[in-house]
Amino acid sequence: MRLTSLRLHLIEMPLRSPFTTSFATTTVRSCYLVEARTRTTDGREVTGWGECVAMEAPLYSPEHLSGAVEVTRRWLAPALLAVEDLTAETVAWHLRHVVGHPMAKAALEMAVLDAQLRARDVSFADYLGAVRTSVPSGVSVGIQPSGEETVRVVGEFLDQGYARIKLKIQPGSDLGPVRAVREAFGDDLPFQVDANAAYTLADVGLLRRLDEFDLLLIEQPLGEADLRQHAELARQVRTPICLDESIVSAEVAADAIALGATSVINVKPGRVGGYLEARRIHDLARANGIPVWCGGMLETGVGRAANAALAALPGFVLPGDISGSDRFYTEDVTEPIVMRDGAVDVPTGPGFGVEVLPERLERFSTGTVDLPA
Ligand code: NPQ
Ligand code: MG
């Protein structure tokens, strides 16, 4: 296919309630959707959609929204628009000369992949080799002002049917809320925590005290680049270590596994440069007996639908952060992704199997960027 033009749709979606982590409190999700217009070799015009999960500010990873738009405008889009016969499988290769920027690259690969699958009338799930028609749905719960409030909020999500609770922690908001949740909902509750790199090895004593709560895992306790230190921590605590921010590619995943720095992996397509690299990490982890699960970046229905298909691969054996759209948004840019009885259905339609609703896009739009300009 030939990529004929790109339009970046910048959007701002208000969150239903503030979402607090160790690095920020988010009340509005700013991101952009990529609309890729393509022409197939037999002359058909097909449009595909992608989503850039970079945050407004570089607080979760080095990328940030305006930077992703700029690197796309100046380097990534020109490279892809120049390719005579483009496929989704070669997007990363055509962009290999640009160092880093995995979330910006992933958004482009996603849009080309969606167009390619629509042109072939194939669903993303079938393209990947999905083995499930629905996937278990976990929820990420932000840091709350008190243990009582944490129990109330967790209780609401359990009443909705979520299959697993993930609680954000940080120094000063860790043992207390974790104990409160465990005491309130019992030992059988599938329960894990996410520190978003808020601790150091000096906190090993405190982190070891989390062992008493039989957590599924502790996610990214230490810094992004600290593979050796995570391996050291893994030798000193019983709770399984799960890496998120650290795993930026299949190569780094292989290093983390070899070092013993991670015994579970949170797979986020945007963080690793796209769904094809995400699948490579799935395959690598599976070959090493390492469970994986699909992480979330407060995606719109486009990314959420694609994540559901990815999480239907055999190695995704733990509930992911693929919540219903209504976890964060009153309205979505697509028909809502619905969580029912602790699960989300895997879309079956061509491409990612969801349609971007023009009137919703219009409502949340803060501008567009057309490429070539
Ligand atoms: C994580 N996601 O697992 C990330 C953190 C995170 C669902 O916890 C805007 C965009 C705000 C992405 C806040 C979840 C965000 C964000 C937190 C990602 O570490
Ligand atoms: Mg995380």
Residue nearest to atom 19 of ligand 1 (CA): 196
Ligand 1 binding pocket, CB closer than 6 Å? 19, 21, 26, 29, 55, 60, 140, 194, 196, 244, 295-298, 321
Q: How far is the CA of 325 from the centre of ligand 1 (A)?
A: 14
User: Could you say which ligand is closest to the alpha carbon of residue 59?
Assistant: 1
Could you tell me if 8 and 369 are in contact, meaning their C-beta atoms sit under 8 angstroms apart?
A: yes
Residue nearest to atom 5 of ligand 1 (CA): 297
Q: Indicate if the pLDDT at residue 242 is higher than 90.
A: yes
Average pLDDT over residues 288-310: 98
The atom number, within ligand 1, closest to the CA of 297 reads 12
Span 43-62, pLDDT tens digits = 999 999 999 999 999 999 99
Residue nearest to atom 8 of ligand 1 (CA): 140
Q: Indicate if the pLDDT at residue 271 is higher than 90.
A: yes
Q: How far is the CA of 21 from the centre of ligand 1 (A)?
A: 8
User: Could you say which ligand is closest to the alpha carbon of residue 23?
Assistant: 1
Q: Where are the beta strands (DSSP E) in the chain?
A: 2-20, 25-39, 45-52, 134-136, 138-141, 164-168, 191-194, 218-219, 241-243, 264-267, 292-294, 339-340, 343-345, 365-371
Average pLDDT over residues 236-254: 98
The atom number, within ligand 1, closest to the CA of 323 reads 7
- For tokens 């197939």, name the residue: 40
Q: Indicate if the pLDDT at residue 216 is higher than 90.
A: yes
Q: How far is the CA of 196 from the centre of ligand 2 (A)?
A: 6
Reported as a pLDDT band with limits 50, 70 and 90, residue 318 is very high
The atom number, within ligand 1, closest to the CA of 296 reads 7
At 304 the pLDDT is 98
Span 86-97, pLDDT tens digits = 999 999 999 999
> Which of the listed residues 141, 267, 297 should we mutate to test ligand 1's pocket, taking the one with most ligand atoms within 8 A of CB?
297
Sheet of strand 365-371: strand arrangement: 45-52, 25-39, 2-20, 365-371
- Identity of the residue numbered 75: W
User: Could you say which ligand is closest to the alpha carbon of residue 58?
Assistant: 1
Could you tell me if 295 and 248 are in contact, meaning their C-beta atoms sit under 8 angstroms apart?
A: no
Q: How far apart are CA 128 and CA 65, in angstroms?
A: 28
β-strand pairing of 45-52 with 25-39:
antiparallel
**Cβ neighbours around 133 below 10 Å, total:** 11
The atom number, within ligand 1, closest to the CA of 220 reads 19
Q: How far is the CA of 25 from the centre of ligand 1 (A)?
A: 10
User: Could you say which ligand is closest to the alpha carbon of residue 21?
Assistant: 1
Q: How far is the CA of 297 from the centre of ligand 1 (A)?
A: 5
Average pLDDT score over the chain: 98
- Does the pTM surpass 0.75? The reply is yes
At 365 the pLDDT is 98
Span 10-31, pLDDT tens digits = 999 999 999 999 999 999 999 9
Which residues are known catalytic residues?
168, 268
The atom number, within ligand 1, closest to the CA of 29 reads 9
Q: How far is the CA of 370 from the centre of ligand 2 (A)?
A: 32
Average pLDDT over residues 191-209: 98
Q: Which residues of 79-113 are buried (b: 16+ CB within 10 A; e: fewer)?
A: ebeebeebebeebbebbeeeeebbbbbbbbbbbbb
At 373 the pLDDT is 85
